């Protein structure tokens, strides 16, 4: 495979487990064998919580972009630790080569021996470049679950979570920045997929159970049924 070609000014990953996907090739995985469903929504919309239920009932492998980045940030051998730390605290989107590489490695790692897999990709793609790059080089997604939530509800949830999460970005200052990034940078991704008819919008206001009912109904409308029930 060709050497990585960073497109947004970062240096190439030093020892990637896999060669970085190239935007000029066809996707690494066939969507007939690898199902990718994105779960998107503003910070605090409940992506992680709903993902737990989806893993239980649908047999998805859960891949949280934020969790993968936090693990990389804490990995002493990573040359990107400080960079990731700074981006997360400021609510900014980490350069896509890093995130796409982490996700691509995680998919490869969790693939069945027959090359199939079902992945719920949480909190990604958050920027148009990531979305296009992932779809062109890793796998075309089946659909996007979009958790629609007003900012005042998200703010309250994040501040509550901040009391115990230990996350550097669950504080007033970071939350304001994350909301701005979500509206300016991430919503255009949802809008693009929406135009392609690939978005399931679910209201994320209410109890976890109420929201989950909407999620299950939305997936059913795309022909995705629970497997573990």
Q: Which parts are annotated binding residues for a ribonucleoside 5'-phosphate?
A: 70, 92-94, 123-126, 130, 167, 178
Applying CB under 5 A, does 48 fall inside the site for Mg ion? yes
CA distance 199 to 169: 27
Interaction with ligand UDP in 38-57: which residues (CB under 6 A)? 43-44, 47-48
CA distance 117 to 111: 5
CB of 33 to Mg ion, least distance (A): 27
Applying CB under 6 A, does 66 fall inside the site for ligand UDP? yes
From the list 58, 55, 54, 87, the residue with the least C-alpha distance to 70 is 87
Contacts of 28 (CB under 8 A, 6+ apart): 21, 104, 137, 138, 139
CB of 86 to ligand UDP, least distance (A): 9
Residue with tokens 């199939």: 116
Q: Name which of ligand UDP, Mg ion, none residue 99 binds, using a CB cut-off of 5 to 8 Å depending on partner kind.
A: ligand UDP
CA distance 42 to 184: 11
Pair of tokens at residue 161: 């979570």
CA distance 49 to 175: 19
Applying CB under 6 A, does 94 fall inside the site for ligand UDP? yes
Q: Is the peptide bond before 95 cis (omega within 30 degrees of 0)?
A: no
Q: Name which of ligand UDP, Mg ion, none residue 13 binds, using a CB cut-off of 5 to 8 Å depending on partner kind.
A: none
Residue with tokens 């090739």: 25
Q: Which stretch binds ligand UDP (CB under 6 A): 61-69, 110-118, 145-153, 196-204?
A: 61-69
Applying CB under 6 A, does 87 fall inside the site for ligand UDP? yes
Interaction with ligand UDP in 156-215: which residues (CB under 6 A)? 169, 178
Q: Are 147 and 206 in contact (CB under 8 A)?
A: no
Which residue from 39, 93, 147, 175 is in contact with ligand UDP, where contact means CB under 6 A? 93
Which residue from 123, 149, 211, 224 is in contact with ligand UDP, where contact means CB under 6 A? 123
CA distance 40 to 149: 11
CB of 67 to Mg ion, least distance (A): 7
Residues that bind ligand UDP (CB under 6 A): 43-44, 47-48, 65-66, 69, 87-88, 91-94, 99, 123-124, 126, 130, 169, 178
Residues that bind Mg ion (CB under 5 A): 47-48
């Amino acid at each position: 495979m060709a050497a990585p070609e960073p497109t947004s000014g970062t240096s190439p990953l030093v020892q990637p487990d896999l060669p970085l996907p190239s935007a000029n090739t066809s996707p690494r995985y066939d969507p007939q064998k690898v199902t990718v469903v994105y779960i998107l929504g503003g910070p605090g919309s409940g992506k992680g919580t709903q993902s737990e239920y989806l893993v239980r009932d649908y047999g998805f492998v859960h891949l949280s972009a934020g969790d993968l980045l936090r693990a990389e940030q804490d990995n002493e051998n990573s040359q990107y630790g400080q960079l990731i730390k700074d981006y997360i605290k400021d609510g900014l989107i980490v350069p896509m080569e890093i995130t796409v590489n982490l996700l691509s490695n995680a998919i490869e790692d969790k693939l069945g021996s027959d090359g199939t897999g079902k992945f719920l990709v949480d909190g990604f793609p958050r920027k148009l470049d990531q979305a296009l790059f992932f779809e062109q080089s890793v796998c075309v997604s089946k659909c996007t679950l979009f958790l629609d939530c007003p900012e005042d509800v998200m703010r309250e949830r994040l501040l509550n979570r901040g009391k115990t999460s230990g996350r550097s970005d669950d504080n007033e200052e970071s939350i304001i920045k994350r909301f701005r990034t979500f509206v300016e940078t991430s919503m255009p991704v949802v809008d693009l997929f929406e135009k392609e008819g690939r978005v399931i919008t679910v209201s994320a206001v209410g109890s976890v159970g109420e929201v989950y009912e909407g999620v299950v109904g939305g997936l059913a409308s795309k022909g995705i049924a629970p497997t573990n029930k």
